[in-house]
Amino acid sequence: MRCYACPRQCGAERTENTPSAGFCKMPYNAVLARAALHHWEEPPLSAHGGAGAVFFSGCSLRCVFCQNHAISHENFGKPVTIDRFIEILKALEAAGAQNIDLVNPTHFAPFLQEALTRYKPRVPVVYNTGGYDTVETLKSLSGLVDIYLPDFKYMSETLARRYSAAPDYPERAKAALLEMRRQTRDRFADDGRMLSGLLVRHLVLPQGTKDSAEILRWIAENLSKDTYVSLMCQYTPGDRTYTHKALNRRLTTAEYDRVLRVFFNLGLHNGFMQARDSADARFTPAFDLTGV
Protein backbone atom coordinates (compact mmCIF):
# COMPACT_ATOMS: atom_id res chain seq x y z
CA MET A 1 0.00 0.00 0.00
CA ARG A 2 1.03 3.60 -0.61
CA CYS A 3 1.02 5.25 2.82
CA TYR A 4 -0.48 8.65 3.60
CA ALA A 5 -1.38 7.84 7.22
CA CYS A 6 0.53 10.71 8.86
CA PRO A 7 1.04 14.38 7.94
CA ARG A 8 4.38 13.59 6.28
CA GLN A 9 2.32 12.29 3.32
CA CYS A 10 5.40 10.55 1.93
CA GLY A 11 3.45 7.99 -0.12
CA ALA A 12 5.93 5.21 0.63
CA GLU A 13 5.15 1.68 -0.48
CA ARG A 14 4.60 -0.37 2.69
CA THR A 15 4.39 -4.16 2.51
CA GLU A 16 3.77 -6.67 5.29
CA ASN A 17 7.22 -7.34 6.72
CA THR A 18 9.74 -5.25 4.77
CA PRO A 19 10.95 -1.90 6.18
CA SER A 20 9.78 0.93 3.93
CA ALA A 21 11.62 3.88 2.43
CA GLY A 22 9.11 6.21 4.07
CA PHE A 23 9.73 8.65 6.88
CA CYS A 24 8.93 6.10 9.60
CA LYS A 25 10.87 3.24 7.91
CA MET A 26 8.16 0.81 9.01
CA PRO A 27 6.41 -2.03 7.16
CA TYR A 28 2.62 -2.27 6.95
CA ASN A 29 2.47 -4.79 9.80
CA ALA A 30 2.73 -3.30 13.28
CA VAL A 31 6.18 -3.45 14.87
CA LEU A 32 5.95 -3.79 18.65
CA ALA A 33 8.53 -3.33 21.41
CA ARG A 34 6.39 -4.19 24.44
CA ALA A 35 2.85 -5.21 25.39
CA ALA A 36 2.14 -5.31 29.14
CA LEU A 37 0.17 -3.78 31.97
CA HIS A 38 1.32 -0.22 32.60
CA HIS A 39 0.55 1.56 35.87
CA TRP A 40 1.90 5.04 35.16
CA GLU A 41 -0.79 6.59 33.00
CA GLU A 42 -3.28 9.12 34.34
CA PRO A 43 -5.52 7.67 37.12
CA PRO A 44 -8.65 7.23 34.94
CA LEU A 45 -6.56 5.18 32.52
CA SER A 46 -4.34 3.12 34.82
CA ALA A 47 -7.19 2.74 37.34
CA HIS A 48 -6.77 -0.27 39.64
CA GLY A 49 -5.55 -2.85 37.12
CA GLY A 50 -3.24 -0.91 34.83
CA ALA A 51 -3.53 0.06 31.19
CA GLY A 52 -2.82 -2.61 28.60
CA ALA A 53 0.00 -0.69 26.93
CA VAL A 54 1.10 -1.70 23.45
CA PHE A 55 4.26 0.19 22.44
CA PHE A 56 4.77 0.64 18.69
CA SER A 57 8.19 1.12 17.11
CA GLY A 58 9.08 3.92 14.72
CA CYS A 59 7.50 7.36 14.66
CA SER A 60 6.24 10.08 12.34
CA LEU A 61 7.95 12.71 14.51
CA ARG A 62 11.62 13.25 15.37
CA CYS A 63 11.40 14.65 18.89
CA VAL A 64 14.99 15.13 20.00
CA PHE A 65 14.04 14.64 23.66
CA CYS A 66 11.97 11.46 23.22
CA GLN A 67 12.16 9.21 26.29
CA ASN A 68 11.39 6.18 24.10
CA HIS A 69 14.33 6.90 21.79
CA ALA A 70 15.29 3.22 21.42
CA ILE A 71 12.01 2.40 19.71
CA SER A 72 10.96 5.71 18.16
CA HIS A 73 14.32 6.61 16.58
CA GLU A 74 16.24 3.34 16.51
CA ASN A 75 13.18 1.28 15.51
CA PHE A 76 13.78 -1.61 17.90
CA GLY A 77 10.85 -4.02 17.82
CA LYS A 78 9.30 -7.09 16.25
CA PRO A 79 6.76 -7.19 13.38
CA VAL A 80 3.52 -9.02 14.17
CA THR A 81 0.69 -10.26 12.00
CA ILE A 82 -2.88 -9.14 12.55
CA ASP A 83 -3.70 -12.54 14.03
CA ARG A 84 -0.84 -12.23 16.52
CA PHE A 85 -1.79 -8.63 17.32
CA ILE A 86 -5.32 -9.71 18.18
CA GLU A 87 -3.91 -12.47 20.40
CA ILE A 88 -1.87 -9.84 22.24
CA LEU A 89 -4.95 -7.68 22.81
CA LYS A 90 -6.88 -10.64 24.18
CA ALA A 91 -3.97 -11.59 26.48
CA LEU A 92 -3.91 -8.05 27.91
CA GLU A 93 -7.66 -8.18 28.52
CA ALA A 94 -7.29 -11.55 30.27
CA ALA A 95 -4.53 -10.06 32.46
CA GLY A 96 -6.96 -7.42 33.75
CA ALA A 97 -6.11 -4.44 31.57
CA GLN A 98 -8.50 -1.53 32.12
CA ASN A 99 -8.12 -0.56 28.47
CA ILE A 100 -5.98 -1.22 25.41
CA ASP A 101 -3.47 1.64 25.35
CA LEU A 102 -2.03 1.99 21.83
CA VAL A 103 1.15 4.01 22.37
CA ASN A 104 2.36 6.02 19.35
CA PRO A 105 0.09 4.31 16.81
CA THR A 106 -0.25 6.98 14.08
CA HIS A 107 2.00 5.43 11.44
CA PHE A 108 0.26 2.06 11.84
CA ALA A 109 -3.28 3.44 11.52
CA PRO A 110 -4.18 1.37 8.39
CA PHE A 111 -3.06 -1.83 10.14
CA LEU A 112 -5.02 -0.87 13.26
CA GLN A 113 -8.15 -0.09 11.29
CA GLU A 114 -8.02 -3.59 9.80
CA ALA A 115 -7.20 -5.27 13.13
CA LEU A 116 -9.82 -3.43 15.22
CA THR A 117 -12.47 -4.06 12.59
CA ARG A 118 -11.80 -7.77 12.95
CA TYR A 119 -11.64 -7.68 16.75
CA LYS A 120 -12.88 -4.84 18.96
CA PRO A 121 -11.70 -5.33 22.56
CA ARG A 122 -14.27 -5.48 25.34
CA VAL A 123 -12.40 -2.72 27.20
CA PRO A 124 -11.91 0.83 25.84
CA VAL A 125 -9.35 1.36 23.09
CA VAL A 126 -7.02 4.30 23.78
CA TYR A 127 -5.30 6.09 20.90
CA ASN A 128 -2.20 7.42 22.67
CA THR A 129 -0.70 9.68 20.03
CA GLY A 130 1.87 12.44 19.67
CA GLY A 131 -0.86 14.66 18.21
CA TYR A 132 0.70 14.70 14.73
CA ASP A 133 -2.28 13.16 12.94
CA THR A 134 -4.36 13.87 9.87
CA VAL A 135 -8.09 14.40 10.11
CA GLU A 136 -8.59 11.82 7.33
CA THR A 137 -6.77 9.12 9.30
CA LEU A 138 -8.71 9.91 12.45
CA LYS A 139 -12.00 9.69 10.56
CA SER A 140 -11.01 6.22 9.37
CA LEU A 141 -10.79 5.16 13.04
CA SER A 142 -14.15 6.58 14.08
CA GLY A 143 -16.07 3.98 16.09
CA LEU A 144 -12.95 1.89 16.64
CA VAL A 145 -11.27 4.22 19.17
CA ASP A 146 -12.99 5.00 22.47
CA ILE A 147 -10.50 7.35 24.14
CA TYR A 148 -8.18 9.81 22.43
CA LEU A 149 -5.04 10.60 24.41
CA PRO A 150 -3.10 13.08 22.24
CA ASP A 151 -0.11 15.20 23.07
CA PHE A 152 -0.33 18.88 22.24
CA LYS A 153 3.39 19.55 22.14
CA TYR A 154 3.80 23.00 20.58
CA MET A 155 1.91 26.10 19.53
CA SER A 156 5.14 27.56 18.14
CA GLU A 157 6.19 26.55 14.63
CA THR A 158 9.77 27.42 15.60
CA LEU A 159 9.80 24.97 18.51
CA ALA A 160 8.04 22.31 16.43
CA ARG A 161 10.70 22.61 13.75
CA ARG A 162 13.59 22.79 16.21
CA TYR A 163 12.62 19.90 18.44
CA SER A 164 10.48 17.60 16.24
CA ALA A 165 11.34 18.43 12.61
CA ALA A 166 7.65 19.24 12.02
CA PRO A 167 6.94 22.96 11.50
CA ASP A 168 3.34 22.13 10.57
CA TYR A 169 2.77 20.40 13.93
CA PRO A 170 0.68 23.19 15.54
CA GLU A 171 -1.88 23.35 12.74
CA ARG A 172 -2.02 19.56 12.38
CA ALA A 173 -2.49 19.08 16.11
CA LYS A 174 -5.26 21.67 16.38
CA ALA A 175 -7.21 20.10 13.51
CA ALA A 176 -6.66 16.63 14.97
CA LEU A 177 -7.90 17.60 18.43
CA LEU A 178 -11.05 19.13 16.99
CA GLU A 179 -11.77 15.90 15.11
CA MET A 180 -11.09 13.80 18.22
CA ARG A 181 -13.51 15.99 20.16
CA ARG A 182 -16.11 15.61 17.42
CA GLN A 183 -15.88 11.81 17.63
CA THR A 184 -15.96 11.32 21.40
CA ARG A 185 -17.77 12.38 24.53
CA ASP A 186 -16.35 12.04 28.04
CA ARG A 187 -17.83 9.15 30.00
CA PHE A 188 -16.60 7.58 33.23
CA ALA A 189 -17.49 4.44 35.17
CA ASP A 190 -18.64 4.70 38.77
CA ASP A 191 -15.13 3.75 39.93
CA GLY A 192 -13.54 6.62 37.99
CA ARG A 193 -12.32 4.67 34.95
CA MET A 194 -12.53 6.60 31.70
CA LEU A 195 -14.78 4.78 29.23
CA SER A 196 -14.66 7.24 26.35
CA GLY A 197 -13.58 10.76 25.60
CA LEU A 198 -10.62 13.07 25.11
CA LEU A 199 -7.70 13.69 27.45
CA VAL A 200 -5.05 16.12 26.17
CA ARG A 201 -1.47 15.83 27.39
CA HIS A 202 1.09 18.60 27.41
CA LEU A 203 4.70 18.22 28.46
CA VAL A 204 6.06 21.51 29.80
CA LEU A 205 9.60 22.00 28.51
CA PRO A 206 12.42 24.08 29.99
CA GLN A 207 12.08 27.68 28.78
CA GLY A 208 8.76 26.66 27.20
CA THR A 209 6.23 28.23 29.56
CA LYS A 210 5.08 30.88 27.08
CA ASP A 211 4.24 28.21 24.52
CA SER A 212 2.52 26.12 27.20
CA ALA A 213 0.32 29.08 28.08
CA GLU A 214 -0.70 29.52 24.44
CA ILE A 215 -1.64 25.84 24.21
CA LEU A 216 -3.82 26.04 27.31
CA ARG A 217 -5.48 29.17 26.00
CA TRP A 218 -6.30 27.45 22.70
CA ILE A 219 -7.78 24.45 24.53
CA ALA A 220 -9.98 26.65 26.70
CA GLU A 221 -11.21 28.69 23.74
CA ASN A 222 -11.58 25.97 21.09
CA LEU A 223 -12.36 22.72 22.90
CA SER A 224 -13.93 23.84 26.18
CA LYS A 225 -12.98 24.67 29.74
CA ASP A 226 -14.28 21.22 30.68
CA THR A 227 -11.55 19.49 28.63
CA TYR A 228 -9.45 17.00 30.56
CA VAL A 229 -5.82 18.13 30.45
CA SER A 230 -2.73 16.38 31.80
CA LEU A 231 0.08 18.84 32.52
CA MET A 232 3.34 16.92 32.71
CA CYS A 233 6.59 17.99 34.34
CA GLN A 234 8.40 14.70 33.69
CA TYR A 235 10.90 16.05 31.15
CA THR A 236 14.40 14.76 31.86
CA PRO A 237 17.50 14.95 29.64
CA GLY A 238 18.60 11.55 30.91
CA ASP A 239 22.14 10.70 29.87
CA ARG A 240 22.07 12.71 26.66
CA THR A 241 23.49 16.15 25.91
CA TYR A 242 21.61 18.30 23.41
CA THR A 243 22.75 20.98 21.01
CA HIS A 244 19.71 22.93 22.26
CA LYS A 245 20.94 24.26 25.60
CA ALA A 246 17.45 24.63 27.04
CA LEU A 247 17.03 20.85 26.98
CA ASN A 248 20.13 20.13 29.05
CA ARG A 249 18.35 20.63 32.35
CA ARG A 250 15.12 19.60 34.02
CA LEU A 251 12.08 21.80 34.31
CA THR A 252 12.18 24.03 37.38
CA THR A 253 9.43 24.14 39.99
CA ALA A 254 8.90 27.82 39.20
CA GLU A 255 8.35 27.07 35.51
CA TYR A 256 5.82 24.33 36.21
CA ASP A 257 3.98 26.46 38.79
CA ARG A 258 3.74 29.28 36.24
CA VAL A 259 1.93 26.99 33.81
CA LEU A 260 -0.36 25.66 36.56
CA ARG A 261 -1.40 29.23 37.36
CA VAL A 262 -2.29 29.80 33.71
CA PHE A 263 -4.38 26.62 33.75
CA PHE A 264 -6.48 27.83 36.68
CA ASN A 265 -6.64 31.46 35.54
CA LEU A 266 -8.16 30.33 32.23
CA GLY A 267 -10.95 28.57 34.08
CA LEU A 268 -9.83 25.08 33.15
CA HIS A 269 -10.70 22.69 35.96
CA ASN A 270 -10.39 19.08 34.79
CA GLY A 271 -6.66 18.61 35.18
CA PHE A 272 -4.04 16.09 36.16
CA MET A 273 -0.73 17.30 37.56
CA GLN A 274 2.53 15.46 38.14
CA ALA A 275 4.76 15.24 41.19
CA ARG A 276 8.27 16.60 40.66
CA ASP A 277 9.84 13.15 41.18
CA SER A 278 8.16 11.94 37.97
CA ALA A 279 11.12 13.42 36.07
CA ASP A 280 13.07 10.21 36.37
CA ALA A 281 14.16 7.71 33.73
CA ARG A 282 13.06 4.82 35.95
CA PHE A 283 9.48 5.44 34.80
CA THR A 284 10.40 4.53 31.22
CA PRO A 285 9.44 0.88 30.67
CA ALA A 286 11.87 -1.76 29.46
CA PHE A 287 11.58 -2.26 25.71
CA ASP A 288 12.48 -5.94 25.66
CA LEU A 289 9.66 -7.49 23.59
CA THR A 290 7.70 -8.42 26.73
CA GLY A 291 4.30 -9.72 25.63
CA VAL A 292 5.17 -9.59 21.93
- pLDDT at position 237: 86
Please tell me the predicted confidence (pLDDT) of residue 278. 61
Would you say 59 is a known binding-site residue?
yes
Asked if residue 279 lies in contact with residue 235, where contact means CB atoms within 8 angstroms, the answer is: yes
pLDDT digits (tens, 9 = 90+) for 245-274: 999 999 999 999 999 999 999 999 999 999
Is 139's pLDDT higher than 90?
yes
Beta-strand pair 100-103/228-232: unpaired
- The pLDDT score that the predictor gives to residue 188 is 97
**Is the pLDDT assigned to residue 20 strictly greater than 80?**
yes
30 confidence band (pLDDT: 50, 70, 90): very high
Look at residue 14 and tell me whether its pLDDT is greater than 90.
yes
Q: Distance between CA atoms of 155 and 159, rounded to whole angstroms?
A: 8
Question: Residue 276: pLDDT above 80?
Answer: no
Q: SS3 for 250?
A: coil
What SS3 class is residue 138? helix
Is 24 annotated as a binding-site member?
A: no
